[in-house]
Amino acid sequence: MTEKEKMLAGELYKSWDDELIVERSRAKQLVNSLNQTKETEDHYRKQLIQDLFGTIEGEMVLEPPFYCDYGYNIHIGDGFFANHNCIFLDVCEIRIGRRVLIGPNVQLYTATHPMDRETRASGLESGKPIKIGDDVWIGGSAVINPGVSVGDNVVIGAGAVVTKDVPSNVFIGGNPAKIIRNVD
């Protein structure tokens, strides 16, 4: 397997692989261009996002600045909105459903590192995908950790740190995030 194939499969991989360095560089160039756009350059912003992301289904708004690793692992449903200063570390897939609202400073991390110090010291890393269902609202400065799946119709409170899967139809918050109550 190539290092990219290992990365996408969630296995330990070498992030310093030449192919991955080139792909991160491409993403950083697109992100840099996006983050320098003016509000009046909506069409140019949309083109940059289309060039960056894996798939976009329908309408979406992403307010710069925005940061990601590769971009092509990000898949967005219709009606998506992300406020300023979001970070999506997408070494594995990030799949976001329809009508998802993301507050400012939200961080989605698929990247992770080995718990064993010797393996971690080798520089190897891995990732776990994130899935977010339909009709989700993620409050500002929330963090969603590697491997988490969020159900449909979920509200994640501002500042929450989501470390485990979240069922549908709940409001969660805190660090680590826990269910506070059901929502209709």
Sign of CA dihedral 161, 103, 137, 157: positive
Task: Count Cβ neighbours within 10 Å for each residue of 118-145 and write b for 16 or more, e otherwise.
Answer: eeeeeebbbbbbbbbbbbbbbbbbbbbb
Active-site annotation holder among 43, 75, 84, 113: 113
pTM of the model: 0.96
Q: What is the pLDDT of residue 184?
A: 86
Q: How many domains does the chain have?
A: 1
The domain that contains 146 carries what CATH number? 2.160.10.10
Tally Cβ neighbours within 10 Å of residue 30. 19
Query: How high is the mean pLDDT in each 10-residue block of the chain (184 residues)?
Result: 97 98 98 96 96 97 98 98 98 98 98 96 97 98 98 98 98 98 94
Burial class (CB in 10 A: 0-12, 13-18, 19+), 82: buried
In terms of residue numbers, what domain contains 166? 3-182
113 is catalytic: yes
